[in-house]
Structure 1
Amino acid sequence: MDAKSQQAEAQLQLLKKEQSTAEDFLQDLQRQQNEQEWLAEDVARVHQEERESLEFLREVWQGAESRSFGYYLADLQEEEKQVWHKKIQANQEECQQKITDCRKSIYQLENQQQDLQKELLQ
């Protein structure tokens, strides 16, 4: 092997290592994405339980002031639900963007490896 081939081989090994690291990072991102989906499901379930509790309390409470307080709590719960939903959605979008970027990086690394392998075969 001449010096140029050795350099190409070393660069190829480095690219393979970078690809392996990127693939590990991609797996971590996909795991995070799954966790975000589970969190979204859990939050939706909690908000449904809160709505059911508020409905029950509204039926039990008597008087205009009590019902008004019930509506206040329902509005507050809806605001919290929207904040959580926006935060979860933003996290999911950020995670999806990272996954897309990571996949692009892996694709570029694979292309660079193919180019180096072609160079070594010549």
Structure 2
Amino acid sequence: MWKEFKAFALKGNVLDLAIAVIIGAAFGKIVTSLVNDIIMPIFGILFGNINLKDIKYTRGEVVLSYGVFLQTVVDFFIIAFCIFMVIKLASRFKRKEVEVVKVVEAAPAPEVALLTEIRDLLHANQTSGSK
């Protein structure tokens, strides 16, 4: 059982996933700082010092802090947009790599070129012999 677990835990996919989670958490902190320290103060200046986290509805003892929810939704959309831009940038580089591979694969192997030449010669001999 230990060997199976070790084989599972050390697979490339599991390690890649663990690295992605760690990088994602760090990226999340960066985007959260971007939202809280840069973007939301700009919104506050543009819309008259509004702080979404302070918006609440109070009825008796019950406090409904829907401003925190709105802030979380704004954070989500900004994070989603940042991830979209990173993926778009990464896919642009990946496409260039694929195009280079296609160019390299376009040249036929020497054996294939030789067999094609033999086929063409045989075809030419059959065509000239039947006339």
- In the superposition, the TM-score normalised over structure 1's length comes to 0.39
Task: Give the TM-score taking structure 2 as reference length.
Answer: 0.36
Q: Which has the higher helix share?
A: 1
Higher relative strand content:
2
Which has the higher Rg, Structure 1 or Structure 2?
A: 2
